[in-house]
Amino acid sequence: MTASVKKGVPAREAEFPGRAAQTQNVELTQVLPCHFNTAAGWRQYDTRRNFTVCNAFQRVKDAVTVPEAAALYGYEPDRKGFIRCPFHGGGNEKTPSCHLKERYFKCFACQEGGDVIKFVEKLLSLSPLEAVKRLNVDFNIGLSLDRHAPTAAELEAARKRQETRDAARRFENWRTRAEWALSTAAGVGEAALRDKAPEQWTAAECLAVKKMAYWDYLRERLYDGDESERMEILRDWPVIGADIAKAVSVNG
């Protein structure tokens, strides 16, 4: 049986009379938090700011990775991306079972999983909207989700968190490059030992053989050493890097 459609009224409006009038010119501050517990609620349109609330959720997920959020709230992942799951056993399990990928997490023990918003929602006992607001403030994303502007203290705290994240990102980039340089330089020594007699070694190869064990040790410390060991290597890097440059020189 075909449903009747009123003349001049769009089909969806005919199915749900009054919906267009109800959703027209909706202010974000007029949408109650309970609406955000459903997908339909997230799609309420805010004409004043010209974005959907659903887009705000997506912008937060695009701006913050799961490992970044976990680290900010006290759960630094190991080199394999695991943390001790905060959702069962009080985060005190013997072997980390919660795996953090860039855009989602999964605990292989309690089976909890989801995106960065779900992680913060479960970790801090918040609603989905509250989790989005918390991430928006803590990571200085800049979404207008509240009627009041952030205070000076909130902005300063967000700026400091951003500086910390930027410094950590720069250090991680340096660490990756340093590991590669140490591996390359040690490889020069390994090749010389394998392919040539000592009297055939160049000056660069002699240096590489001499420093090979030390460079392997430094690479191991960069990979799974503690923060103090890594910072010590960073401080000594001008000297270490100069030796590496000599060892990999093709004219050595």
- State which H helix or E strand residue 98 sits in: strand 98-100
115 pLDDT exceeds 80?
yes
User: How would you classify residue 8: left for phi > 0, otherwise alpha for psi between -120 and 50, otherwise beta?
Assistant: left
For 185-242, write each residue's pLDDT tens digit: 999 999 999 999 999 999 999 999 999 999 999 999 888 888 888 889 999 999 999 9
Q: Which residues contact 84 (CB under 8 A, 6 or more apart)?
A: 75, 91, 92, 93, 96, 97, 98
For 3-57, write each residue's pLDDT tens digit: 444 444 444 334 434 433 333 333 333 333 333 344 444 344 333 343 445 577 8
The pairing of beta strand 105-107 with beta strand 98-100:
antiparallel
Give the pLDDT confidence score for residue 149 in this predicted structure: 59
SS3 78: coil
**C-alpha distances in angstroms, 71 versus 74, 82, 201, 243?**
5, 11, 47, 35
Give the pLDDT confidence score for residue 137 in this predicted structure: 83
Give the pLDDT confidence score for residue 11 in this predicted structure: 43
Give the pLDDT confidence score for residue 58 in this predicted structure: 83
Q: Quote the mean pLDDT of the chain.
A: 76
SS3 107: strand
Give the pLDDT confidence score for residue 118 in this predicted structure: 92
239: buried, middle or exposed (CB in 10 Å: 19+, 13-18, 0-12)?
A: exposed
